[in-house]
Structure 1
Amino acid sequence: MPVLRRPGARGGGGGESGGAAPPGTGRPGYRRRAVTADLVALRERIAAITARPRAGAPSPFGFPSPSGGGQGGGSRRLPPNCTEEATPFGTVAVRREWFPDDGSQEVGALSTCLGFAPDELRRPLFLDTETTGLSGGTGTVAFLVGLAWREGEGLALAQYFLCDFDQEQALLWAVGQCISQAGVLVSYNGRSFDWPLLQTRLVLQRARWPSPPHLDLLTLARRIFRPRLPDCALQTIEQSVLDLHRADHLPGSLIPSRYFAWLRQGDPRVLGPVFDHNQQDVLSMVVLLARFEALLGSSNEMHPLDRFGRARFLEARGFQVEAIREYQHLWREHQAGGALRATRGALGLRLARLLRREGRWQEARLVLEECWHTQTYPYPAAIELAKLLEHQARDPAAARRIVSDALRLLVVAVVSNAQWRADLERRQQRLERRLGRNESPALALTG
């Protein structure tokens, strides 16, 4: 086998038959000049490539301009009830529907509580995606994007579908056109999943979208409905809050496999339940947004635990006076009811803390004393009551009695909590030191 050697290397191949190197090429200076010349030539080639003009006009949203006039793809298999629509990047499949909407479009309570402008909330764009995977990541693609917006006296629904992966740029462009008109983007877990996923796909396409304000309804649902629901999955909210029940529901975990079956076989029947699932998700968000407006704006016909959740939401948003009013109503009217029995202790603690924060510690004391005397596990109330007696009422002796009684109960309690015990013991030691300092001058005087 012949041995390849760089120019000027010694040994083998000498003489005329071996291709002798030119004189002087073995010197280090010659090699440096040769490498420099190669780098210069490479830079010139790169500059020539990047300087080539791109075909097509500049594209909105920063998409790279299409080549070939945006025509491409030819005829494709289409899912049922879908049509092809042209974009500057080829065609995209879309299914459009329109629904009459006679629901209220009031947004005053949502605007006040969430900080959105009323005009933004009157132009919501509801977004839901179906993807090739459930964990997100760079390799996950949104193959179906459902969008809904108010149009005239009804609701327009558009479902953009990816017939094949080479249509992704066209799909993203079409979705971006809708987003550019939105006052606020409304999703359900979209802030954590749908929107980051779409942003990742845009980066891979060297594109960008406008970024309207985003309202994730899952955050609201967790704050308001968590006290009475086992979870806040959208289907749970539909059944327990909206009284909506899906027929022949396709689980979300099966949706990616349906899409891959479509790509392999082209059978339109596998996609029907996928489109229905996406449509139901979008329409449920429309109903849920209206329900939140009603819940935040009025207390009529509200489940007591939902009212408790609303008070928690108002407290978290900084509406202290309104939250106190809600907590007090629940404390007075529902403290003996079965619906609030499980959360009565948490209700009392939240009410007492807000009252203390507002300087109304006498009212807070009454609430905490009732919690201390009536709760099965009164230890958190005992800790809060001891704090109030020591710092606001200036009665450390009463605070020590409460702490000592709580520790005695904790010794024989069926359910113990190490954190409660540590907090009570630490507070007891501190109170005893404080009382010892106060009593020592009197003892010296009597002695």
Structure 2
Amino acid sequence: MTGPGPAGEGLWRDLAPQTLARLLRTYGSSQFDLCEDAVQEALLDAHVRWATDPPDDPQAWLATTARRRYADRVRSDKRRRDREGRVALLEEPLRHEGVPSDDALLLLELCCHPALSRSAQVALTLRAVAGLTTEQIANAYQLPEATIAQRITRAKRRVAELGGGFTRPGDVAERLAPVLDVLYVMFTEAHHTTRGAPAQNTDLAREAIHLARLLREAAPDSTEVAGLLALMLLTEARHPARVGPHGRLVPLDEQDRSLWDRAMVDEGLALLDHVVPGAEAGPYLLQACIAGVHAHAPSTETTDWDEIHALYTVLEHRTAGRNPMISLNRVVALGMVQGPDDALAALDALEADHPRLGRVDAVRAHLLERAGRADDAAAAYRRAIVATVNVAEQRHLQDRLRALGIPPPDRGTEDP
């Protein structure tokens, strides 16, 4: 048993959604706020007590403590008109047939209730299931923290209003789209953590893949579920080569591909071989196909950039231009196909449409460097360093700036 701190973060991430799911199954989704607060209090108790007195069964200990905290909260809630109803729930819990195979997936499905808006589904699930902070969710969607906080509060209120039992939807397809969106954002945050320290949240990536596998079992005919799982596997396979000494990010074109996890690569490619023929390609399957092209190539130079650019163009059309990050990636691929000058012109047009789009200056700096415009590239690198809060990305950009013979701006992110 590990106590608080980095070594135990994976344990906390596994236990929290499982415990919240148990409480919701017992007391009902109308008690979402109280159950979540009870779990958080139980986790605080665990952080203090387990350091010196770890339990034999952490999940049972946490569930028992959370139930006690829930009971304390209900009994002390004298200002609520429905206090008597809540006390009755303590004495006669909701009963359901069967036990879910995985509480985290069940909790995810509850948070993706069709009565919630898509934005509320995603925000609530990322908070309750993935354990992301409001800042992390806001960063993933490039929105103010206050906006995300309001979405989460309204979503929890709506779930409480819905009431009823904690049951699975009758048809998994009913909530498939928001569940896929949530898992994708989970995995994206794992590989591009808000603060970049560490550069990758391994526990969050592992949990996203675990849930994607469960979803694949529940919806074996969905090519989008298969596509998302393949995308996760092919991306996660690069992790051993993506992070170098001292947590430095290693870009794809500099990675030692012999370090890639071959088992994950093979599993991801086999999944694509199984589902792609005859499939109507959705956004996740298209992204997986792009990752598959990279996985097949032994180097950046031998990569089929024409295919990647074509896939990004289809993906951009398939998503109706709603995701400017897809357009940004297409610009990068365009630069590999037609050269940096054409890509820079396309980048200017993209920035005009999306003036607040992140990573534009980082991409611009890379293209300017390839075009031999060192002074302009340095200026773009400086702007990119100042604009990003991600420590790992800052350090990578600083390294690129140093490679041009120019010291980076002082932002307090330098290595000692």
Instruction: Tell me if TM exceeds 0.5.
Output: no
> TM-score w.r.t. structure 1 length?
0.28
> TM-score w.r.t. structure 2 length?
0.29
Larger Rg: 1
